[in-house]
Structure 1
Amino acid sequence: MGSSMVRKTKKPVIAYVLIAVKPRREYDVFEALKQFQEVKDSLITYGEWDIVARVEVDTFEELDRVLYHIRKVNGVEYTATLIGV
């Protein structure tokens, strides 16, 4: 499937990005996410994942671009993405 997936409607692509960050960097990353207009909401959490961000875009290509930039935020160690259907 990958990037060749075709959406049958004009509904936005909604994804939840689970973010693990370096120790004591949660608030720095949380604040950095506010600079992304595609990040509609985010929460600092306890557990394996430190932050959960809700991302909304029009295409999977845009999602790929946003994920690339989120992963480049100083303090982000790794991410996992859940795409809504």
Structure 2
Amino acid sequence: MSNHGGVAADQLRAFVERIERLEEEKKVISDDIKDVYAEAKGNGYDVAVLRKVISLRKKKPHEREEEEAVLDLYIHALGMAGSGEAEGRDNG
């Protein structure tokens, strides 16, 4: 193993090459995901909502509940809730 100024060049090169390979794989996977979203859109699905569903599924139930509670609070604070929605849920 070559050692230049305290750096193991062979090991460093191996790390760089592994990272480069993984970055290329990540790009391929990212392109595949874009294709799936495009296919879903072509079949009439709302991609923005689909992305939100994917995001929500990554979270634990209590994290989703917290997020929904804060969102509900903000919506009410901004007066964005419809009159029917606010009834029975608006405690102040």
Which bin holds the TM-score, normalised by the shorter protein?
under 0.3
> Whose strand proportion is higher, 1 or 2?
1
Higher relative contact order (CA 8 A, sep 6+): 1
TM-score by length of 2: 0.19
> Whose helix proportion is higher, 1 or 2?
2
TM-score by length of 1: 0.20
The higher radius of gyration belongs to: 2
